Amino acid sequence: MARKDPHSHADSDQPRARHLRLLLRVDFAARRIEGEAALELAAPAEGVLDLDSKALEVLEVSTGSGASVPFQVGPDEKVLGSRLRLSLPAGTREVRLRYRTSPDAPALQWLSPEQTEGGRHPFLFSQCQPIHARSLVPLQDTARHRLTYEAEVEVPEPLGAVMSAGPAGEGPGSRPGTRVFRFRMPQPIPPYLLALAVGRLESRELGPRSRVFAEPETVEKAAHEFAETEAMIARAEDLFGPYDWDRYDMLVLPPSFPYGGMENPRMTFLTPTLLAGDRSLVDVVVHELAHSWTGNLVTNADMEHFWLNEGFTVWAERRLVEALHGEEATVLAWAIGERALEESMERFGAGSPLTRLRTELAGTDPDDAFSSVPYEKGARFVTLLERTAGRQRFDRFMRDYMARFRFTSITTEEFLAFLESELPGLASQVGASEWLYEPGLPSNAPVFRSPRLDGLVAMAQSFARGERPANSATAAWSPSETLVYLQGLPREIEREGCAWLDAALALTGRGNHEILVEWLTLAAGSDYEPAFARLREVLLRVGRMKYLRPLYAAMGRHPRTRALAREVFAEAAPRYHSLSRRVAASVIEKYDDAPAS
Ligand SMILES: [Zn+2]
């Protein structure tokens, strides 16, 4: 027996599913999906087959020819969920499971109409990464096992469905008042890339191979924001080679979506907080697009190798930003990333094993291990490799890497072996072992500087001495420049300073959530009451974890903001995604409630 992924019951000695056929009936009233899953095996099999499941009610299991398959649902393990053990009769080529999901399946968020922009229809979306696919469908939920899939999704009219797959037609459903949407995913994907969303959706064409889907209230704004998608795809192809997934479509979700974006193939999921109105936050789209190669094409074998997905993707994102917006914009992006990295390192503690790139996560919930480390430390490691090898050689290496491992899932060690075979000596030259296996940031980390960045940092540092940049200067700042300046400011500012910032930079009214949230974090940490109304509004509306964590943390500094945080959280918690709720609760639990002086 060989269980290689610490977060899955899948056993590499057992039969392997290579294709999945799904029939999903979406029941908003019960907040359940009635599912039928057919797992086609790679070869006829017999004996034990262990699947992952979480909070699933398994009703019936049979073979493709209708023979009953005995099954046993194991105890609900905290991180992994329940092992679903099947005993296959000889010659089984296909296993069929009839099941239903639970109303609190971690993969699914059910939104009431009030939680949508339109306010009239419910909404459902999935988030299967890292290990939540098992609460949507019983399967071998490890990135080591890729599979193709097809699906039929029955939803109440007038709602529509999208999946991480190509559309394959639609028609009337089996019950009155329902409609069926069909999908086909011909490329093999790891299970965490299964994705489904159901809601009142419209779409707009963006280019020859891209469309954006959103609620009707948001779709025009989204089409404007992401109009440059085809140019991004073309630049990414320059870097990595042809785009292998046919179409690149996007879905803008309601604001409770816990991430900035999720790289579901053929249908990137995005937070509406990207809709700044001025295309200033499309870096996230660049990032998700880059995952079409790094992550979706070449995939981490499991979450202990997550940096292979995210480090390479942030590196690619910055290369694409450089190609699209120039070097200056890229230096600022690295500076903003550095800030995120420092915060993660601080949160875990410098010596924490979670600050390694190659992690060991047996017994650890990968959602708890999530941080900027695999992203930003990973991207710095890849950049060090690039700088040491030289860009031309390294770009050639990247194309070879993509070609060699496309549609496979690999470990850090497999990456290292390939690196050694293609660019011998490079790994030891840069101290790869320290980067991968030791905590913290090695001293040879690449540095990203420019006179512009230095000027902004110096200006921010002089703030405490009462110096203020001239209006003529701040008026010309790009959103990234404003953000870098704000990030350089002291974390607690007296009332006059806050008032000056808000007036000079028009912060409270910003549509750019990166700037808005940085400002509200400062204001909360400064107990600056005029910003509380906007702070409350953002916390009640937005579920993006990247924003909730610093906002709730900053609110822990003062008795008045602590009270506000608890009050807002009590109201917001039922609307947050379960991941967001957990992050916010963990921050609030750490509040130091020593009586205020
Ligand atoms: Zn990513």
The C-alpha atoms of residue 155 and residue 173 are separated, in whole angstroms, by 8
CA 367 – ligand 1 centroid, Å: 14
CA separation for the pair 179, 169 (Å, rounded): 11
Cα radius of gyration (the chain): 24
Cα of 171 from ligand 1 centre, angstroms:
35
Matching residue, tokens 């020859």: 208
Largest CA distance in the chain: 80
The pLDDT assigned to 594 comes to 54
pLDDT at residue number 592: 81
Alpha carbon separation from 425 to 351, 385, 429 (Å, rounded): 28, 11, 6
Cβ neighbours of residue 376 under 8 Å, at least 6 residues apart? 314, 337, 338, 340, 341, 344
d(CA 235, CA 249): 17
Active site residues: 288, 375
355 CA distance to ligand 1 middle (Å): 17
- Each residue's pLDDT tens digit in the chain (597 positions)? 699 999 999 999 999 999 999 999 999 999 999 999 999 999 999 999 999 999 999 999 999 999 999 999 999 999 999 999 999 999 999 999 999 999 999 999 999 999 999 999 999 999 999 999 999 999 999 999 999 999 999 999 999 999 999 999 999 999 999 999 999 999 999 999 999 999 999 999 999 999 999 999 999 999 999 999 999 999 999 988 999 999 999 999 999 999 999 999 999 999 999 999 999 999 999 999 999 999 999 999 999 999 999 999 999 999 999 999 999 999 999 999 999 999 999 999 989 999 999 999 999 999 999 999 999 999 999 999 999 999 999 999 999 999 999 999 999 999 999 999 999 999 999 999 999 999 999 999 999 999 999 999 999 999 999 999 999 999 999 999 999 999 999 999 999 999 999 999 999 999 999 999 999 999 999 999 999 999 999 999 999 999 999 999 999 999 999 999 999 999 999 999 999 999 999 999 999 875 444
Answer whether 252's CB lies under 8 Å from 488's CB. no
pLDDT at 131: 98
* pLDDT at position 596: 45
Q: How far is CA 106 from CA 53, 132, 139, 571, 582, in A?
A: 11, 6, 15, 21, 12
Span from the CA of 291 to the centroid of ligand 1 (angstroms): 7
Q: Are strands 249-252 and 123-126 parallel, antiparallel or unpaired?
A: unpaired
Q: How far is the CA of 341 from the centre of ligand 1 (A)?
A: 14
Residue 563 CA to ligand 1 center (angstroms) comes to 34
Q: What is the pLDDT of residue 587?
A: 97
Cα(52)–Cα(60) distance, integer angstroms = 16
Q: How far, in Å, CA of 295 to CA of 434, rounded?
A: 23
pLDDT of residue 350: 81
Question: CA 414, 303, 105: angle at the middle one, nearest 5?
Answer: 150
Task: Give the DSSP letter of residue 594.
Answer: P
Beta-carbon contacts of 438 under 8 Å, excluding residues fewer than 6 positions away, are 356
Q: In whole angstroms, what is the distance from residue 349 CA to residue 435 CA?
A: 17
| Residue 406: C-alpha distances to residues 12, 13, 228, 399, 422 (Å) | 20, 23, 26, 10, 17
At CA 8, angle to CA 12 and CA 299, rounded to 5? 75
**Ligand 1 ion: residues within 5 Å (CB):** 310, 313
Q: How far is the CA of 295 from the centre of ligand 1 (A)?
A: 8
Lookup result for tokens 């979306």? 125
Return d(Cα 362, Cα 321) in angstroms, integer: 36
User: Looking at residue 198, what DSSP letter applies?
Assistant: E
Element (DSSP H or E) covering residue 36: strand 32-53
CA 554–ligand 1 middle distance (angstroms): 26
Q: How many A from CA of 258 to the centre of ligand 1? A: 13
CA of 391 to the centre of ligand 1 (A): 23
Distance 29 CA to ligand 1 centre (A): 33
CB of 517 within 8 A of CB of 538? yes
* Cα separation, 81 vs 93, whole angstroms: 26
From ligand 1's centre to the CA of 313, what distance in Å?
Answer: 6
In the chain, the N- to C-terminal Cα span, in Å, equals: 61
Nearest to 193 by CA among 238, 234, 132, 259: 132
**Tokens standing for residue 321:** 């930003």
Q: What Å distances lie between residue 589 and 54, 70, 568, CA to CA?
A: 27, 44, 14
